[in-house]
Structure 1
Amino acid sequence: MKYVAYHRTSTKDQHLDRGIAELTKYCKTHNIQLYKSKVYTDQRTGKDFDRPRYIMLKEEILESGDVLIVTELDRLGRNKEATLKELRFFKDNGIRVMVLELPTTLIDLSAMENSMARMMLETINNMMIELYASMAQVEIEKREKRQREGIEQKKARGEWDDYGRPRIMSLDEFSTHYRLVQQGKKKPFELMRELGMTKPTFYRYKNQIEKGC
């Protein structure tokens, strides 16, 4: 059995340190030895699960009998249906998920002999997870609404052309990563997956770099 810790923030502007510290402290307090003695992280949106390290955990590391630990449910995902689908996947594959903000998920129900108590805790778990997943989705929908309204206001003021669509990273940052492709150390599709870029976005950056823009 392996204990695997995962933490996510939505952007590179948000620091991972707090979540990493919280997971590390919990595991130290409860004598839990984390797999590879580290916390796996992504700095990607919680709207979907197309994140390089999360995919690696799900496809290459986590196995039946293992435990996945996250600080909060929305660090796993912020889309209710997608998050519940992922949780069903873990349950169906014998992988337990511990969420530090939900105390009932920290109890190993499989070790309980009292079947009635186990059933009640499972029901409470499911209700709390459904509630927290709903709250996470509401928050992301509110943020998207504010963003849409902000864009519309800028367009109405004639300011949108001055701002345009923001880059997901600077050309300098992309150039640093892309150098590995130029040196033959990585394939383009590997870098796309690692950076969480779509193919059109990747090649737009690539063309700008190669043109010296």
Structure 2
Amino acid sequence: MSRIGYARVSTIDQDLDTQIAKLKAEGCGIIRSEKVSGASRDGRAELATIIDFLRPGDELVVTRLDRLGRDTRDVLNLIHECEQRGAFVTVLDPHVSTRGEMGHIVLTVLGMVAQMERRFIKERQREGIQKAKSAGTYRGGKARIDHSRVVEMHRKQEGISEIAKALGCSRMQVYRILNGQYRSESIVAR
């Protein structure tokens, strides 16, 4: 029986250290982590690796339920996959495990609350942006990637994967920047 920790943050500028420290303190011998959105399971290679290697009696441990995902259905499907392999899921805050029936009920309710909370946050954010736009003070989100550097590297014939790796972002982000930059020139990024 192994305790396998999973840590996740949504963006490359966020820190995984706190989650990893908590998982180590809980006795997780293996900890996998990634910096990717939890909106869906797409692109979450570390989580997929954990699920693939779970054995009967193993335990997947996360610090909070939203580290597994933001959508209740995705989280419940993930828990179901773990159980199909004979493994358990434990959330540290609040401490809940799928070892008993009550844990399933609590995780379902927590997942629904987390999804509802996310919707409320997005709605408040939209309202704030709309208010700022009306007042003429909205400037947009802070750019996390140097767009000019992406374009410069691309013009120097560097590949999409090389650019993404050098700047610590995804290939999709590089494509989006290049498609926005070259839209009028109709150059397709390679």
How does the TM-score come out when normalised to structure 1?
0.65
Give distance in 2, aligned partners of 1:174 and 1:40: 29
Alpha-carbon separation, structure 1, partners of 2:12 and 2:65: 20
Q: Does the 8 Å contact 2:6/2:47 carry over to 1?
A: no
For 1:30-179, list aligned pairs within 5 A.
32-34=28-30, 39-58=31-50, 61-65=52-56, 66-105=58-97, 109=99, 122-160=100-138, 163-164=139-140, 166-167=142-143, 169-171=145-147
Go from structure 1 to structure 2 and tell me whether the alpha carbon gap of 1:167 and 1:50 turns closer, same or farther (over 3 Å shift).
farther
Query: Residue 21 of structure 1: CA displacement?
Result: 0.5
The 1:89–1:167 alpha-carbon spacing in structure 2 relative to 1, beyond 3 Å, is farther
Pairwise CA RMSD of aligned residues? 3.6
User: Structure 1 regions of 5+ residues with no counterpart?
Assistant: 110-121
Q: Secondary structure at the match of 1:64?
A: coil
Percentage identity across paired residues of the two chains? 26
Q: State the distance in 1 between where 2:29 and 2:175 align.
A: 41
Structure 2 CA distance for partners of 1:3 and 1:72, relative to 1, 3 Å:
same
Q: Contact conserved, 1:51 with 1:196, CA < 8 A, in 2?
A: no
| TM-score normalised according to structure 2 size | 0.71
Amino acid at match of 2:117: E
> Offset of 1:144 from its aligned partner?
0.4
Question: Partner of 1:97: helix, strand, or coil?
Answer: strand
Higher relative contact order (CA 8 A, sep 6+): 1
Q: Which residue of structure 1 lines up, in the alignment, with residue 21 of structure 2?
A: 21
CA-CA distance at 1:17 after TM superposition: 1.2
**Shift in alpha-carbon separation, 1:123–1:95, aligned structure 2, 3 A:** closer
Structure 2 alignment gaps of length 5 or more: none
> Could you tell me how far apart the structure 2 residues matched to 1:131 and 1:172 are?
45
The structure with the largest helix share of the pair is 1
Q: Aligned pairs, how many?
A: 176
Cα distance change on mapping 1:92 and 1:187 into 2, 3 Å: farther
